[in-house]
Amino acid sequence: MKQNTLRIRSRSLPLSLRVKQRVLTVLLLLLLVTLIAMIASVAYGEYPIPPLAVIQTVLGLEENSDYTFVVNTLRLPRTLVASLVGLALAISGAIMQGITRNPLADPGIIGVNAGASLAAVSLIVLFPSVPVGFLPISAFGGALAVSLLIYFLAWEGGSSPLRLILIGVGIATVIGACTSVITTFGEINSVSQALVWLAGSVYGRSWEQVFAFLPWLIVFLPLALVKTRQLNALALGDEIATGLGCHIEWQRGWLLLISTALAGSAVATAGAIGFVGLMAPHMARQLVGATHGGLLPVAGVMGAMLVVVADLIGRTLFAPIEIPCGIVTAVIGAPYFVYLLVQQRGK
Amino acid sequence: MRAFLLCKKSGKARSPSTTVEDFAATVWIKPTKLLIEFGNKLRVVFDDAYPSGSLVRCDCNYFAAILQQNEGMTEVSNWKSRSPVLGLIASIGVLVICLFISIALGAADISLKTIYEAIAVFDGSTEHLIIRTVRIPRSLLAILVGAATAIAGAIMQGISHNPLADPEILGINAGAAIAVVVAIFIFGTSEPSFYVWCAFLGAGTSAVSVYLLGSLGRGGLTPLNLTIAGAAIAALLSALTTGILIISQRTLDEIRFWLAGSVAGRDYAIIAQVLPYIVIGLVLALALASQINILNLGEDVAKGLGQKTAWVKIAAAVAVLLLAGSAVAAAGPIGFVGLVVPHIVRLLIGVDYRWILPYSAVFGAILLLASDVVARLVIRPQELPVGIVTALVGAPFFVYLARMKVSK
């Protein structure tokens, strides 16, 4: 089947880009859907605002001061955080599935989220006086430490994808035990607060979090996109990748670092939102195929849409009780996981 | 036909087909209780299920199937033919010593003489009261929970061919946890008798779903599929648990000590609650031991030997449920005991589940007692939940297993 492709070539730079038309179409459509979801997310809530007014407020055309406060101070940053976190988690998951060659890998299952969670929960419960700004740094530190640990433990004359997953699950369990010790002995109110965070929530996120998170994306998203060729090679298997001239250990290490940075900073911003890193890449793969050049951006937008929608569901379904969006994604994600397992069997 | 046959890995490993051809087409064996060594390659063990003097025909397909199943089975080289009874008695001795240590050490240290007096000539003093109402029930519970968890782990590993099986890893504990949390949230009761049933229900549901999920994946019930299915279910359940705990701080306050896994502060009432189920589970497990031996050779071989594998698996699952369910009901989710103990036992006494199960019970009890002593001594006068100690002991072991056993 012939695929229509667009070629973009620069005369001065050693750069060329080939984009499948299908990827472009899907990407644009998804972006549109995500944008609508984001507008809906800003519009609906305890104080509903007409969608048109939302757009006008964001563009600075609306005079109503109630609207401007609710939209600009409360809902817009929250929605932005949700979408950015979804983006990061999905791309992180796609990379992880590529390097482990396991379609069921996910930063949550593999223990990266657990590491970030442990670091953040200990900060919230044990050092309540530390300013909130340190939360992302410590969570990222936790994620990085855990993924390094898993990588080294899985190393035996080379890292094996299978060992990465199994050891990841084991380490995640231990870290979960450590987290539960902290939640057992901590002061009950701060534990309660930490739990919201453990479940993954974008509640009460402000511009501060958006700006703290953005640098991570600005650094690591382009890095991920640059590495897609190596990722494609790794996904074919170690031997073929070596044959293609790819230094597998070095590249796997790099990609793992990028994936960890994205997942870690996302968990740092919004807590452990599970299953997004699992679901989004699959949905993307069904839409545009398994080549990572197209897969990563599509998965990213898909992830953004998932988290925005999950947050919207979580806060409207049982209002006034607010369900953290991580729980909504888990409830959606688990059946999807089953579906994937069944589907995999046919292959 | 009740027999099992093991391929010895020491010396040069040979491919199954050549070994079988070495054997000639048909082998005739007189099946009393006997153990036959064929050179350095094969051992045949028959139990005495046949009237002595009758002949059993083992054709070469049967040998080939068994050999294929056992290829790469390293435990076999550690097969000990001498009677393991002495070892079992010795380990029970160690268990008793651990029991005394566990009663003696803690926030207040107590001498052996006082322990004896508290049991024999109770005088109502504070120390005697501590021993009778705090230390002894706690230690007994640790023994029960340790034994039950370890046997549950051993059975799980035996029937699923999964060296990484453990109630915690495979999401059974998470299932029990959410059921208990939901019950407390809805009914507001923290009555232990209520816990037990909820824990059973939750453990059962999640065990069945993990098992089904794991067998849905490519290649069936591989260790990887089971582990991932367990991790996914555990992730979902703990997300839901967290959700409930966020909504209700009262539930959180009531349940968080239980959730971390601990045998502290339990009284005789809880022991009495779970004891019947543990005993039934134990008896069922021991009765199934030789069936598990056969199943452990692989589903096809077991079927070829005339075993109704589905029934054995269901019975084994019931035993696992009773044991793991009561353990988690009584002490909260305690991980890695069920993982570590059966492996150590196999290293010591080989692959016969008729011995693995009782050994696992004793070793599991010792491990949990010892972990509990450590948990209460490290940050004296505060206490760690014992679940964290077993996790810290078990994790390196899990990593080791994942590296060694599942590398292929």
Least confident of A135-144, A225-234, B261-270: B261-270
Q: What is the pLDDT of residue A80?
A: 92
Which residues in chain B are contacts of A323 at CB distance < 8 A? 243
Q: What is the pLDDT of residue B287?
A: 92
User: Taking 60 as the threshold, does the pLDDT of residue B294 lie above it?
Assistant: yes
Q: Which residue has the higher pLDDT, A13 or B375?
A: B375
Q: Identify which of A166, A198, A321 has the shortest CB distance to residue B247.
A: A321
Q: Which position has the higher pLDDT, B72 or A205?
A: A205
List CB contacts (< 8 A) between A100 and chain B. Answer: none
| B233 chain-A contacts, CB cut-off 8 A | 334
| pLDDT for the residue numbered B240 | 87
B140-165 pLDDT, tens digit each? 999 999 999 999 999 988 887 777 78
Fold assignment, A91-289+315-346: ABC transporter involved in vitamin B12 uptake, BtuC (1.10.3470)
The DSSP bridge partners found for residue A155 are: A159
Question: Which residues pair with residue A159 across a beta bridge?
Answer: A155
Give per-residue pLDDT as tens, A41-82: 888 877 788 888 888 888 877 777 777 788 888 888 899 999
Inspect the interface and report whether the beta carbons of B399 and A108 lie closer than 8 Å.
Answer: no
- What pLDDT score was predicted for residue B71? 41
Q: Chain A partners of B217 at a C-beta cutoff of 8 Å? A: 104, 341, 344-345
Predicted confidence at residue B246, as pLDDT, reads 82
pLDDT of residue A3: 58
Place A250 in a pLDDT band, splitting at 50, 70 and 90: confident
- A126 CB within 8 Å of a chain B CB: no
Q: CA-to-CA distance for B389 and B373, rounded, in angstroms?
A: 10
Q: How far is B27 from chain A (nearest CA, A)?
A: 40
DSSP state of A17: E
Q: What is the pLDDT of residue B152?
A: 93
Q: Which residues of B touch A177 (CB under 8 A)?
A: 260-261, 335, 387-388, 391-392
Q: What is the mean pLDDT of residues A12-24?
A: 72
Average pLDDT, rounded, for chain A: 83
The answer to whether the CB atoms of B399 and A170 lie below 8 A apart is yes
Q: Cβ contact (<8 Å) for A274 and B388?
A: no
Phi, psi angle pair for A45, to nearest 5°: 160, -160
CA distance A264 to A304: 16
The per-residue pLDDT for B222 is: 75
User: Is A178 in CB contact (< 8 Å) with chain B?
Assistant: yes
Contact (CB<8Å) A109/B229: no
B393 touches chain A (CB under 8 A): no
Whether chain A has a CB inside 8 Å of the CB on B257: the answer is yes
DSSP assignment of A148-196 equals HHHHHHTBSSSB-HHHHHHHHHHHHHHHHHHHHHHHHHS-HHHHHHHHH
Q: Do B387 and A177 count as a contact with CB atoms less than 8 A apart?
A: yes
Cis amide prior to B381 (ω within 30 degrees):
yes
pLDDT single digits (tens) B381-397: 778 888 888 888 888 88
Q: Which of A154, A173, A347 sits opposite B169 (nearest CB)?
A: A173
Domain ranges across chain A: 91-289+315-346
- ipTM of this model? 0.77
Best mutation site among A188, A190, A195 for testing chain B: the one with the most B CBs within 10 Å? A195
Strand B3-7 versus strand B42-46 pairing type? antiparallel
Q: What is the pLDDT of residue A159?
A: 65
- Contact of B407 with chain A, judged by CB distance below 8 Å, is answered with yes
Q: Considering only residues A249 and B369, tell me which one the structure prediction assigns the higher pLDDT.
A: B369
Average pLDDT over residues A298-310: 94
- Per-residue pLDDT at B94: 92
B322 contact A CB<8A: no
d(CA A264, CA A216): 10
Task: Determine the residue among A171, A338, A341 to mutate to test chain B binding: the one whose Cβ has the most chain B Cβ atoms within 10 Å.
Answer: A341
> CA-nearest residue of chain A to B393?
A174
Q: Please provide the average confidence, as pLDDT, over all residues in chain B.
A: 74
Residue A324 and residue B246: Cβ atoms within 8 Å?
A: yes
Query: For residue B225, which residues of chain A lie inside 8 Å, CB to CB?
Result: 341
Q: Given this model, what pLDDT does residue B73 score?
A: 36
Q: Is the peptide bond before A320 cis (omega within 30 degrees of 0)?
A: yes
Interface check B384 vs A, CB under 8 A: yes
Amino acid at B31: P
Confidence of residue A31 (pLDDT cuts 50, 70, 90): very high
* Interface check A166 vs B, CB under 8 A: yes
pLDDT band at B70 (very low <50, low <70, confident <90, very high): very low
- Cβ within 8 Å, pair B216-A338: yes
Among B141, B159, B155, B146, CA closest to B319 = B155
Taking residues B278-286, report their average pLDDT: 94
Q: How far is CA A262 from CA A11, A144, A266, A281, in A?
A: 32, 10, 6, 15
Chain B residues close to A331, C-beta within 8 Å: 236, 239-240
Yes or no: say if B351 and B296 are a contact pair by the CB < 8 Å rule: yes
Taking an 8 Å cut-off on Cβ atoms, the answer to whether B224 and A199 are in contact is no
